[in-house]
Chain A
Amino acid sequence: MDNVLEVKGLSRSFPGFQLKDISFTLPKGYIMGLIGPNGSGKTTTIKLILNMLKRDGGEVKILGLDNIAEEKAAKAELAVVFDSNYFCEAWTAAQTEAAVSGFYENWDTNRFHQLLERFRIDPAKKVKDLSRGMQMKLMLACAFSYGAKLLILDEPTSGLDPVSRDELLTILSGYIEDGEHSVLFSTHITGDLERAADYITYINRGSLFFTGGKDEFVDSFRIVKGGPEDLTEEIKARLIGLRTHPTGFEALVRTEDLERMRRTGGKAAENRSVRGNRDSETVRFPAYTGALGKSSPVDSWTVEPATIDEIVVFTSKTPDDNGE
Chain B
Amino acid sequence: MNETLKAARLDFALLRPYWKTLCFIILMPVIYTGVARSLSAGISFEMCMLGITASYTFAISEKNGMERLYGALPVARRHLVFGKYLLICATGLLALGISLVTHTAVLKALGETVHAWEIAVSAVLGFFVYTFYVVFQLPGYYKFGAVGGKMFQFIPVTGYLLTLILLPRVDPNSPVLTAVLGRPGALAGAVLLCCAAAYGISIVVSVRIVKNKEV
A residues at B contact (CB < 8 Å)? 47, 50-54, 71-76, 78-80, 82, 84-91, 95, 98-100, 102-104
Contact = CB atoms under 8 A, between A and B. Distances in A.
Contact of B215 (A52, A85, A99, A103): A52
B69 interface: yes
A84 B14 CA distance: 18
Interface string B40-64: 0000000000000000000011011
Interface string B70-91: 0111111000000000000000
User: Residue among B63, B65, B72 with the most chain A CB within 10 A?
Assistant: B72
Given A71-B76, A85-B65, A99 B13 contact: yes
Given A86-B64, A88-B60, A80 B13 contact: no
A107 B94 CA distance: 31
A87 B69 contact: yes
Interface string B200-215: 0000000000000011
A91 B215 CA distance: 23
A79 B69 CA distance: 10
B75 A47 contact: no
A76 to B, nearest CB: 4
Contacts, number: 76
Contacts of B18: 90
Contacts of B73: 75, 100, 103
B17 interface: yes
Contact of A53 (B61, B63, B64, B214): B214
Contacts of B17: 88, 90-91
A73 B75 CA distance: 9
A75 B80 CA distance: 15
Interface of B: 6, 9-10, 13-14, 16-18, 60-61, 63-66, 68-69, 71-76, 214-215
Contacts of B13: 88, 91, 95, 98-99
A73 B74 contact: yes
A51 B66 CA distance: 16
Contact of B214 (A52, A84, A95, A100): A52
Nearest to B12: A99
B74 A100 contact: no
Contact of A50 (B16, B64, B72, B76): B72
A52 B66 contact: no
A84 B72 CA distance: 14
B65 to A, nearest CB: 5
Contacts of B60: 88, 90
A277 B19 CA distance: 56
Given A52-B71, A73-B74, A88-B64, 9 more contacts: A52-B214, A53-B214, A71-B76, A75-B73, A88-B61, A90-B17, A99-B9, A99-B10, A100-B10
A88 B14 contact: yes
B214 A54 contact: yes
Given A53-B215, A88-B13, A102 B71 contact: no
A51 B77 CA distance: 11
Nearest to A47: B215
A167 B51 CA distance: 46
A76 B68 CA distance: 15
A83 to B, nearest CB: 10
Output the residue of A78, A90, A91, A104 with the most chain B CB within 10 A. A90
B14 A86 contact: no
B57 to A, nearest CB: 10
A82 B76 CA distance: 21
Contacts of B75: 72, 103
Instruction: State the 6 A-B residue pairs at the shortest beta-carbon distance, nearest first.
Output: A90-B17, A99-B13, A75-B74, A76-B74, A52-B71, A52-B215
